[in-house]
């Protein structure tokens, strides 16, 4: 058997996953973009239009540096990995694109597409979580095997998978970037029926992850038997002052009136945050 040539332009991650042999005996070839069919199992659900335009501009200037991965079908080619490059190449006005052609079974196509996207592209946290779960369900991956395959820590994989247990509204907020993955995991410490009720507070008060964790901790703490919380009278002016203080100090602030005036409660969640508040209020270091 003749020597096997490695395909040109492949990165280390994908090259390690693909058998380095081609029916043509070579590396990548140029194929017509019009003959490429999209991958129906593409884990990426959304693509940033600005990032796609930036990639298209780069392709116009430098061409497509990294080949896409396809498998041959009766009426052309089925895309396995590289959807962003295909879309950007079309946007750049190209007619052909470099590709590595492999004969792959359906299961191999799905595995390569998921792993390639998890390794190479910026999936949002929920897309990553769904891709992880699909690899576990359809290929029997353990967390350890999955973490090794995509080059992540096992704890990272486990934490991302926890997002799938969140309330749909919280999941949407994470996917849209309204809150971070860390916020989502913190909110996940609550029963699912309470998660959607806490979300507006986290967003409207712009709570940090640490503040969200503290809020969740307080909500989870059982109240003493017989304890009641007096309803707070709505005072638009008081709420406006609270909001101004919160924005100025960057933390949760609560005002409470009394017969002789009232009190201001400024919350902090670490020694570092206390030092920052001290400097903001006093104008010097503690």
pLDDT digits (tens, 9 = 90+) for 153-164: 888 888 889 999
Angstrom CA distances, 18 to 15, 21, 70, 265, stand at: 5, 8, 11, 59
What is the pLDDT averaged over residues 19-40?
69
Active site residues: 83
Q: Has residue 28 got a pLDDT over 60?
A: yes
pLDDT the model gives residue 9 = 40
Please tell me whether residue 17 adopts helix, strand or coil conformation: helix
Give the tens place of pLDDT for each residue, 171-197: 999 988 899 999 999 999 899 888 988
* C-alpha–C-alpha distance, residues 65 and 83, integer Å: 14
What is the pLDDT averaged over residues 222-242?
61
Spacing of C-alpha 231 from chain mean position: 38
What is the pLDDT averaged over residues 191-206?
89
Contacts of 7 (CB under 8 A, 6+ apart): 15, 18, 20, 22, 26, 27, 28, 67, 100
What is the pLDDT averaged over residues 253-258?
78
Give the tens place of pLDDT for each residue, 67-101: 888 888 888 888 887 888 899 999 999 999 999 88
Q: Has residue 54 got a pLDDT over 80?
A: yes
Give the model's confidence band at 117: pLDDT under 50 very low, under 70 low, under 90 confident, else very high.
low
- In the chain the domains, ranked by start, together with CATH numbers, are 12-105 (3.90.1530.30), 166-219 (no CATH), 236-282 (no CATH)
| Residue of higher predicted confidence among 213 and 27 | 213
Cβ atoms within 10 Å, residue 109: 21
Contacts of 150 (CB under 8 A, 6+ apart): 115, 118, 119, 132, 157
E strands in the chain: 29-32, 36-37, 68-73, 76-81, 96-101, 253-258, 261-266
Per DSSP bridges, beta strands 253-258 and 36-37 are unpaired
């Amino acid at each position: 058997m003749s020597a096997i040539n490695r395909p040109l332009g492949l990165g280390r991650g994908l090259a390690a996953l693909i058998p380095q042999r081609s029916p043509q005996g070579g590396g990548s070839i140029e194929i017509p973009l019009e003959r490429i069919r999209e991958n129906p199992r593409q884990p990426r659900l959304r693509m940033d239009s600005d990032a796609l335009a930036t990639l298209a501009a780069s392709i116009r200037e430098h061409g497509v540096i990294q080949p896409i991965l396809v498998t041959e079908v009766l009426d052309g080619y089925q895309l396995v990995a590289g959807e962003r490059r295909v879309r950007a190449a079309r946007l750049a006005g190209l007619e052909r694109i470099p590709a590595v052609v492999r004969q792959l079974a359906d299961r191999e196509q799905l595995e390569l597409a998921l792993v390639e996207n998890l390794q190479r592209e910026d999936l949002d946290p929920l897309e990553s979580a769904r891709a992880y779960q699909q690899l576990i369900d359809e290929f029997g991956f353990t967390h350890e095997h999955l973490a090794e395959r995509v080059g992540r820590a096992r704890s990272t994989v486990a934490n991302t998978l926890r997002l799938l247990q969140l309330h749909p509204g919280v999941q949407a907020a994470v996917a849209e970037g309204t809150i971070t993955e860390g916020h989502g995991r913190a909110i996940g410490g609550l029963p699912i029926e309470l998660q959607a009720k806490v979300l507006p507070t986290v967003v409207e008060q712009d709570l940090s992850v640490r503040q969200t964790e503290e809020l969740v901790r307080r909500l989870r703490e059982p109240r003493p038997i017989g304890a009641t919380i007096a309803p707070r009278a709505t005072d638009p002016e008081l709420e406006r002052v609270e909001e101004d203080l919160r924005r100025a100090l960057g933390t949760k602030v609560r005002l409470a009136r009394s017969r002789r005036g009232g009190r201001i409660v400024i919350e902090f969640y670490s020694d570092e945050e206390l030092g920052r508040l001290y400097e903001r209020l006093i104008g010097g270091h503690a």
